[in-house]
Structure 1
Amino acid sequence: MSRHIACLSFDFDTWSGFVARGMSTPTPVSRGEFGVIGAGRILDLLGSRGIKSSWYVPGVVIKTYPAAVERVVKEGHEIGHHGWSHVPPAWLPADREAEEFERAVETIRELTGKGPVGYRSPSWDISDRTIDLVLKHGCRYDSSMMGHDCSPYFARRGDKVAADAPMEFGPLTDLVEIPISWSLDDHPHFEFIRSKDEVLPGLSNANAVLENWIADFEYMRRTTEWGMLAYTFHPYVIGRGHRMLILEKLIDELTRMGAVFLTLDEVQQEFRARSAA
């Protein structure tokens, strides 16, 4: 029997991603703070559809907006590790990466009473040490890499990559990788960012993006017996009015197409069971 899964995941970053890139003046901070408003709208929508989702929250955000994050927990959604700050692990020295990772684990434990099952790196850029840290702290899955579009797989560690030599693959681990894609992420489609060095235009037509998101699910339905897609949203992005409308349309259309909505934790459990069968 075919089974096609949609994971709705939310990176609840608020201002942390802007500040990690040096954008700490009042306007970008306020732009991120809108995420608290957006989160409330999203939770209302998910509640009306009876859908559970996965939320990845930096430790600094948990500590800054405890009531907003507590609502996520109270309404039955998964809380995943998303760093202490939103600085990408690949930018951090080893000791600071380890310190921030552990600090975020303890913050989630204080919030939920248990450590996180899943990890998603800030900006989807892990270091060559990150997989070891994820395993050390008991996480069962990662959601930071892009080696497939609609199937989890077991992550490797210790690959050796050089521009002038064939790649040497490292060993497989017991960590399930739940793949993501920038094309299934709201941020690059919608967010206008202007800095001293670059301009990211964003501001795409929302209905055109919705067509892409639905088409990826349709392709998965046609080509796989069992598959999953991880959609990634940011409350300060998707929480704007016209984008909330396409999120609602996405949920309703995927439902019509027979989607099963699961958290990423539920997906990794199902994938492990299938792999062991």
Structure 2
Amino acid sequence: MAGIENEPWQWSEVRWRGYVNRVRAGKRLTPPWPDGKRCAVALSFDVDHETLELYNGGKSIGRLSCGQYGNRRGMPRIMCLLRKHDIKASFFVPAIAAKLYPDEQRSVVDEGHEIGIHGWIHELNSLLPPENERDLMMRSADTLEMITGTRPVGLRTPSWDFSEKTLSIAREMGLLYDSSLMADDSCYELLENGERTGVIEIPVEWIRDDAPYFAMSATEPLRPHISPEDVLGIFMREFEQAYHEGEMFQLTMHPHRIGYRSRIWILEEVIRAAKAKGDVWFATHREVAEHASLAL
């Protein structure tokens, strides 16, 4: 059969090892945490807004309105809660979302939170020619800096979609960290083709993301399949084990998911439980990466 040599079971060891080793987890960068804290808690929000509809050419007014809800109600509730508990967090923002709501992003930075790169229009990096991916990543960083006055040092790829060139571009841009991959629970150094990069990975996981639990589609058989109480239970088990191990609890949320009346309480319960421990370090992703880099 023509082309059968391209089937995975036909690959040579050199070929499959090459795929595996393109981007790999290197040295685990573990505690001690600052000031004798036992556990680090890194809260993050992907501020996608309307880009979740726009990125694939969608023009649905209904779905665009869902993105606008993230700005009108989700973000104010999140910011109020963080302000109430005096916690700083990281916000990963597509450049188009920042251009739609520049005052929102300026207020995030003005209140001491971190802004990170999250693509131009929530595009999928693996579908882009390398030159387009590079251009969009650099333009995204420039746009966030122009709007907020602060140059981002961290990247979270849209949909955590990581191309063969993403890490090389991040290194060229001098980024401190990425937060898109899933090889560990703790921070680690990224390797590129077996080479140390100095780029810190703050790993994510769908288990610690509100989107899989609360996603909704009117055109596909996709509905929230789990109660808010159950989502809290999952997040809390993740946190308690991170605390037991003395490592890091990283959480990814979205204003148009967690920001609803029946869900925002989940975030507050997580915060209250972590604060009740008395020895938890709440930190932005940048702060975690800066601390982890000391162990390189």
> Distance in 2 between the 1:189 and 1:242 partners?
13
Q: Residue 14 in 1 paired to residue 38 in 2? A: no
SS in structure 1 at match of 2:275: helix
Q: Tell me which of 70, 74, 83 is aligned to 2:119.
A: 83
1:221 is aligned to: 243
Q: Deviations over 1:122-166 (max 9, x none)?
A: 0001101000111111210000000012x10001223xxxxxxxx
Alpha-carbon shift at residue 98 of structure 1 (Å): 1.1
Which consecutive residues of structure 2, in runs of 5 or more, have no partner in the other structure?
A: 1-35
2:231 is aligned to: 209
CA contact (8 A) 1:17 1:87 kept: no
> Distance in 2 between the 1:193 and 1:137 partners?
36
Alpha-carbon shift at residue 194 of structure 1 (Å): 4.1
Q: Residue 124 in 1 paired to residue 160 in 2? A: yes
> Distance in 2 between the 1:3 and 1:111 partners?
36
CA contact (8 A) 2:54 2:121 kept: no
Q: TM-score, normalised by structure 2?
A: 0.84
Q: Deviations over 1:16-37 (max 9, x none)?
A: 0222234321000001111102
**Which residue type is aligned with residue 81 of structure 1?**
I
SS in structure 2 at match of 1:242: coil
Q: Tell me which of 171, 175, 189 is aligned to 1:154.
A: 189
> Distance in 1 between the 2:148 and 2:50 partners?
23
> Distance in 2 between the 1:60 and 1:126 partners?
20
Alpha-carbon shift at residue 229 of structure 1 (Å): 1.7
CA contact (8 A) 1:214 1:254 kept: no
Q: Tell me which of 57, 61, 77 is aligned to 1:26.
A: 61
Which consecutive residues of structure 1, in runs of 5 or more, have no partner in the other structure?
A: 159-169
> Distance in 2 between the 1:54 and 1:221 partners?
20
Q: Deviations over 1:201-241 (max 9, x none)?
A: 2252001110110111111222x23x112100000111100
Q: Deviations over 1:168-208 (max 9, x none)?
A: xx32311000000001000111111244xx43222520011
> Distance in 2 between the 1:111 and 1:139 partners?
19
| Number of residue-to-residue matches in the alignment | 259
2:9 is aligned to: none
Q: Tell me which of 240, 245, 270 is aligned to 2:265.
A: 245
**Which residue type is aligned with residue 267 of structure 1?**
V
Q: Residue 139 in 1 paired to residue 178 in 2? A: no
Say which is worse superposed, 53-62 or 82-91, in terms of deviation.
82-91
**Which structure has the greater CA radius of gyration?**
2
Q: Deviations over 1:219-268 (max 9, x none)?
A: 1222x23x112100000111100111111111111111342210000001
**Which residue type is aligned with residue 271 of structure 1?**
A
Alpha-carbon shift at residue 111 of structure 1 (Å): 2.2
2:139 is aligned to: 103
**Which residue type is aligned with residue 45 of structure 2?**
F
2:195 is aligned to: 171
Say which is worse superposed, 12-21 or 262-271, in terms of deviation.
12-21
SS in structure 2 at match of 1:44: helix
Question: Structure 1 vs Structure 2: percent identity of aligned residues?
Answer: 36
> Distance in 1 between the 2:104 and 2:157 partners?
21
